Copies of this chain bind each other. A is one copy, B any other.
Amino acid sequence: MTTGKKKHRTEEEYKSLINRLNRIEGQVRGVRKMVETDVYCVDILTQVSAIQSALNAFNKELLSNHIKTCVADGIRADNDEVIDELVKTIQKLMK
């Protein structure tokens, strides 16, 4: 199911993505702590929504960079399979 391909990212992009993931991991641990300490359902639901927004922002950043680099470079190099791949990827994200 995975492509097995690699992608080199700039240091700026790398740091930004890793920082986002570190924050998200902290948020997930925060929700576990809420469950462990019997926090009220509605407060937990709100916090999980925040994690979903953070993951969505991560995906937006990754997808934007992907289009600006892999997709644009692929099309310029007549490697048109990047187009079909992008279409399939977006269709999954829009489910």
Contacts and interface: CB of A to CB of B under 8 A. Distances in A.
A93 B55 contact: no
B42 A85 contact: yes
Interface residues of A, number: 63
Contact of A21 (B21, B32, B91): B32
Contacts of A39: 2, 6-7
B92 A49 contact: yes
A18 B32 contact: yes
Contact of A86 (B9, B17, B38, B67): B67
Interface of A: 1-9, 14, 17-18, 21-22, 24-25, 28-29, 31-32, 35-36, 38-46, 48-49, 51-52, 55-56, 58-60, 62-68, 70-72, 75-76, 80, 83, 85-87, 89-94
